[in-house]
Amino acid sequence: MFWRCLRMAARRAKPPVMGPKDIRVKICGLSESAHIDAAVAAGATYVGFVFFPKSPRNVSIQQARSLAAAVPPGVAKVALVVNADDALLDQIVAAVPLDMLQLHGSETPERVAEVKARYGLPVMKAVGVADESDLPQLVEYGRVVDQLLVDAKPPKGADLPGGNGLSFDWRLIANRRWPVPWMLAGGLTPENVALAIQMTGAKQVDVSSGVESAPGVKDPDLIAKLIAAAKG
């Protein structure tokens, strides 16, 4: 009896531990259903569609609509936009069944709040990090968003505000925490993702060019390798 009570107390005292397999992965910039299938089969939690004409990963609203139909329940469909106005967002949200909006431009906290209220969808805001001075923005946006995307800051004059395959110094965010869930992004690959998770404590990662064989061309093997490496 004594030992049974002791065992039960020990079990109760154990805090729930998040194992490496619980790491959530978002594969961003998908434009072919075979690649969505590969991401889903490998255990992706989120798939992202890019609506940004300058991007090699850009999809039309009709394309995204049919890609979204191939995503099984339980995998979140994310629309990525850059400084989109209401007219564009209205069209995307009306046509594509979505679980989240990702704002990847210079949207202000006020605009983020407006988008959240207008569409009633969870909003993730990307914040570019290059050095210590970029960190206060994460606190500011953390007050209005549902999730933060902690991404590498694009180089000056870059065509794309994200998806550049560049990392930032992960030591900058080691042991930092924000009041909302967050994803680590920027230059993650099957080779470095485990170290990035270990150094930053990220529980979610977002990857685009690190699982491509050429800009905009996803590689199913790299998708599987990346997700396996992230989940330990």
Q: Give me the active site residues, please.
A: 28, 151
Structure-token pair, residue 143 = 């007050």
| Residue 190 engages ligand LARABZUK in binding (rule: CB under 6 A) | no
| Binds ligand LARABZUK (CB under 6 A): choice among 45, 55, 147, 204 | 55
Place of tokens 């064989």: 213
> Least distance to ligand LARABZUK from the beta carbon of 196, Å?
11
| Residue 107 engages ligand LARABZUK in binding (rule: CB under 6 A) | no
Instruction: Name the residue with the smallest CB distance to ligand LARABZUK.
Output: 163
Task: Note whether 188 and 210 are within 8 A (CB).
Answer: yes
Stretch that binds ligand LARABZUK, among 33-41, 113-121, 208-216, 218-226 (CB under 6 A): 208-216
> Least distance to ligand LARABZUK from the beta carbon of 16, Å?
29
Strand residues in 11-63 grouped as ranges (E): 24-27, 46-51
| Residue 127 engages ligand LARABZUK in binding (rule: CB under 6 A) | no
Compute the distance between CA of residue 152 and CA of residue 173 in angstroms, rounded to an integer: 12
Compute the distance between CA of residue 180 and CA of residue 201 in angstroms, rounded to an integer: 14
| Residue 150 engages ligand LARABZUK in binding (rule: CB under 6 A) | no
| Residue 209 engages ligand LARABZUK in binding (rule: CB under 6 A) | yes
Task: Note whether 230 and 23 are within 8 A (CB).
Answer: yes
Structure-token pair, residue 165 = 């395959």
A 10 A CB-CB count for 159 gives 11
DSSP H or E stretch at residue 159: none
Contacts 24+ apart (CB under 8 A), 85-91: 86/118, 88/51, 89/115, 89/118, 89/119, 91/61
Question: How many chain residues interact with ligand LARABZUK (CB under 6 A)?
Answer: 26
| Residue 188 engages ligand LARABZUK in binding (rule: CB under 6 A) | yes
Binding residues vs ligand LARABZUK (CB under 6 A) = 28-29, 48, 50, 52, 55, 57, 80, 82, 104, 151, 160-165, 185-188, 206-210
